[in-house]
Amino acid sequence: MEITSKSFGKVDGVDVPEYTLTNSNGVAISAMPFGATLTKIVTPDKNGKRENITLNVENLEDFIAHRPFYGATIGRVAGRITRGQFTLSGIDYQLDVNEGENLLHGGPEGFDTKLWEVRTEESDSRASLIFTFNSPAGENRFPGNLSVTVTYTLTEEDEWIIDYQAETDAPTLFNPTNHVYFNLTGDIKKTILDHQLMLNSDFYAPLGGENLPKGELDKVEGTPFDFTSFKAVKEAVLADHPQISPLSGLDHPFVLSLKNDGPEGILFDPESGREVKFFTDCNSVVIFTHNAEVDDFEIQGEPAGQYAGITLETQTLPDAVNQPGFGNIILRPGETFTSQTTYQFGVRAD
């Protein structure tokens, strides 16, 4: 295992390092403490060619100015909270909203906009970046002082393990995710439409107006949302379906079966042979297929095009605090929140 670091830029005069963890198979992950953000994943393809397989912002200025969420830690609450409102312990809360009347990805002062503390840990078989951040009570008008630790670990088994831990001094909400976009071709000028996807998911959450979950869970069977066996992402993204056509793609939560006898999902690129398996204890994964070109900054000299990446955002179902049956995202004093998601990288021939 090797850990290196270089400067990624400065924020308010403070140098922001980008760390790179590399294992003996040539798999490397890079991350920076601004937003506890994953900036790069380099893996070999079936011919041994090492390339970056994520959408990555190339400089800190663009990351701060345009807030693309690429690779960032999202919190306190991932996804949308309807009208930014919820009731907890008999108290009605109104959060600061940032997408029309709703809250998206933690609000205007989300975790991705914060400079976290970082330290490293290393052993023979693994290396970790440990990010910590204290979110004060009242941030985005959330209750409770929340102390958060997010650990990124690279192993010799080619796994990127994300461990979340948090504690609070008053009842609050916590539902983090990582907003990494994969493009397994290694060339972000190509799309992810020909990637193959498999998910242990029999239900998805349909969206209503403003991309808010309707509160229902619908069967995937017989719909383009059925990824219970491998199929090309484009079969869903380009489908003529009332949940998909208006969005020009997927931006949907899938309920995970959590069978615990293998990965919850696998993304595979037949051209490069690369695959990513993911394992999680979260009850859902949000699949977002980068449905429009992002042209307010450039990556490799060009805007990131439509379908340039696909997310596997593991989390409790979005808007859970307002949708019965979506899961519990309430954290209380005396409790320790823990959650783990693992992405495992590999190659296969077919």
252 is catalytic: no
Q: Is 311 in the site for ligand G6D (CB under 6 A)?
A: yes
Degrees, nearest 5: CA angle 270-271-277: 45
Q: Scanning the structure block, which residue is given the tokens 């619908």?
A: 218
Q: Is 167 in the site for ligand G6D (CB under 6 A)?
A: no
241 is catalytic: no
Q: Is 227 in the site for ligand G6D (CB under 6 A)?
A: no
Q: Is 69 in the site for ligand G6D (CB under 6 A)?
A: yes
- Please identify the residue of the shown chain whose CB is closest to the bound ligand G6D: 288
Residue tagged active-site, from 105, 179, 195, 252 = 179
Q: Cβ-count burial of 271 within 10 angstroms (0-12 exposed, 13-18 middle, 19+ buried)?
A: middle
Would the annotation count 179 as a binding residue?
yes
Looking at 132, 211, 223, 322, which residue binds ligand G6D (CB under 6 A)? 211
Q: Work out how close the CB of 191 gets to ligand G6D at its nearest, in angstroms, rounded to a whole number.
A: 17
Q: What is the Cα–Cα distance from 305 to 248, expressed in whole angstroms? A: 13
For residues 128 and 147, the answer to whether their CB atoms sit within 8 Å is no
Contacts of 46 (CB under 8 A, 6+ apart): 272, 273, 274, 347, 348, 349
Q: Is 151 in the site for ligand G6D (CB under 6 A)?
A: no
User: How far is residue 111 from each of residues 12, 51, 116, 175, 306, measured CA to CA in Å?
Assistant: 17, 28, 9, 12, 26
Residue tagged active-site, from 18, 139, 264, 313 = 313
Would the annotation count 97 as a binding residue?
no
Q: What is the Cα–Cα distance from 236 to 264, expressed in whole angstroms? A: 19
Which of residues 220 and 304 has its CB atom nearest to ligand G6D in the complex? 304
Would the annotation count 204 as a binding residue?
no
Q: Is 288 in the site for ligand G6D (CB under 6 A)?
A: yes
Q: Which two tokens stand for residue 122?
A: 């290393």
Which of residues 69 and 164 has its CB atom nearest to ligand G6D in the complex? 69
Q: Tell me the residue type at 314.
A: T
Would the annotation count 181 as a binding residue?
yes
CA 250 to chain CA centroid, Å, is 15
Q: Which two tokens stand for residue 189?
A: 């000028």
Q: Is 250 in the site for ligand G6D (CB under 6 A)?
A: no
- Closest residue by Cα to residue 324 from 225, 240, 217: 217
Q: Work out how close the CB of 264 gets to ligand G6D at its nearest, in angstroms, rounded to a whole number.
A: 17
Q: What is the Cα–Cα distance from 115 to 127, expressed in whole angstroms? A: 21
Residues in the interface with ligand G6D (CB under 6 A) total 7
Q: Is 228 in the site for ligand G6D (CB under 6 A)?
A: no
Q: Which residues are catalytic?
A: 179, 313
Give the binding site for ligand G6D (CB under 6 A). Answer: 69, 211, 251, 286, 288, 311, 313
Going by the annotation, the residues of the binding site are: 179-181, 251
